[in-house]
Protein backbone atom coordinates (compact mmCIF):
# COMPACT_ATOMS: atom_id res chain seq x y z
CA UNK A 1 0.00 0.00 0.00
CA UNK A 2 1.36 3.39 -0.93
CA UNK A 3 0.68 6.42 1.20
CA UNK A 4 -1.22 9.13 -0.65
CA UNK A 5 0.28 12.56 -1.12
CA UNK A 6 -0.61 14.92 1.71
CA UNK A 7 -2.67 17.88 0.53
CA UNK A 8 -1.02 20.02 3.19
CA UNK A 9 2.69 19.53 2.53
CA UNK A 10 2.81 17.21 -0.49
CA UNK A 11 4.80 14.51 1.31
CA UNK A 12 3.73 10.89 1.56
CA UNK A 13 4.08 10.19 5.27
CA UNK A 14 2.17 7.15 6.59
CA UNK A 15 -0.07 7.33 9.64
CA UNK A 16 -2.22 10.32 8.73
CA UNK A 17 -5.91 10.55 8.09
CA UNK A 18 -8.16 10.84 5.07
CA UNK A 19 -10.81 13.53 4.81
CA UNK A 20 -13.31 13.38 1.95
CA UNK A 21 -10.83 11.40 -0.13
CA UNK A 22 -7.95 13.76 0.57
CA UNK A 23 -4.99 12.63 2.63
CA UNK A 24 -3.52 14.61 5.53
CA UNK A 25 -0.21 13.41 6.98
CA UNK A 26 0.35 13.18 10.76
CA UNK A 27 2.68 16.18 10.69
CA UNK A 28 0.09 18.42 9.09
CA UNK A 29 -2.64 17.00 11.30
CA UNK A 30 -0.61 18.05 14.35
CA UNK A 31 0.10 21.41 12.78
CA UNK A 32 -3.55 21.93 11.99
CA UNK A 33 -4.52 21.27 15.60
CA UNK A 34 -1.78 23.60 16.79
CA UNK A 35 -2.81 26.28 14.29
CA UNK A 36 -6.31 26.35 15.72
CA UNK A 37 -4.75 27.53 18.95
CA UNK A 38 -1.89 29.71 17.80
CA UNK A 39 -3.10 30.84 14.35
CA UNK A 40 0.52 31.50 13.43
CA UNK A 41 0.26 29.82 10.04
CA UNK A 42 -3.37 30.61 9.58
CA UNK A 43 -3.06 32.19 6.14
CA UNK A 44 -0.88 29.31 5.07
CA UNK A 45 -3.61 26.88 6.08
CA UNK A 46 -6.29 28.81 4.29
CA UNK A 47 -4.33 28.22 1.12
CA UNK A 48 -4.05 24.50 1.91
CA UNK A 49 -7.76 24.18 2.55
CA UNK A 50 -8.58 25.98 -0.68
CA UNK A 51 -6.53 23.39 -2.50
CA UNK A 52 -8.22 20.67 -0.48
CA UNK A 53 -11.70 21.79 -1.55
CA UNK A 54 -10.59 22.16 -5.15
CA UNK A 55 -9.28 18.58 -5.15
CA UNK A 56 -12.42 17.14 -3.59
CA UNK A 57 -14.42 18.79 -6.33
CA UNK A 58 -17.12 19.73 -3.86
CA UNK A 59 -18.78 23.07 -4.37
CA UNK A 60 -18.97 24.85 -1.04
CA UNK A 61 -22.09 26.68 -2.19
CA UNK A 62 -23.82 23.32 -2.69
CA UNK A 63 -22.85 22.27 0.82
CA UNK A 64 -24.31 25.45 2.23
CA UNK A 65 -27.52 24.91 0.31
CA UNK A 66 -27.90 21.40 1.70
CA UNK A 67 -27.23 22.52 5.25
ZN1 LIG B 1 1.47 16.97 5.33
Span from the CA of 12 to the centroid of ligand 1 (angstroms): 8
Span from the CA of 30 to the centroid of ligand 1 (angstroms): 9
pLDDT at 61 over 70: no
Asked if residue 6 belongs to a domain, the reply is no
Asked if residue 55 belongs to a domain, the reply is yes
pLDDT in tens, 2-49: 899 998 899 999 999 887 788 999 998 888 777 665 555 667 777 777
Domain that holds residue 52: 17-66
How many structural domains are present in the chain? 1
Asked if residue 11 belongs to a domain, the reply is no
pLDDT of residue 14: 95
What DSSP string describes 11-63? ---TT-EEETTEEE-HHHHHHHHHHHHH-TTHHHHHHHHHHHHHHHT--HHHH
Span from the CA of 16 to the centroid of ligand 1 (angstroms): 8
Span from the CA of 60 to the centroid of ligand 1 (angstroms): 23
Span from the CA of 65 to the centroid of ligand 1 (angstroms): 30
Closest CA to 11 of 30, 32, 21, 25: 25
pLDDT of residue 16: 93
Amino acid sequence: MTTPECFGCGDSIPGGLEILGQYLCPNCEAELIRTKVGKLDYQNWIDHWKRFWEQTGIDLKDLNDQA
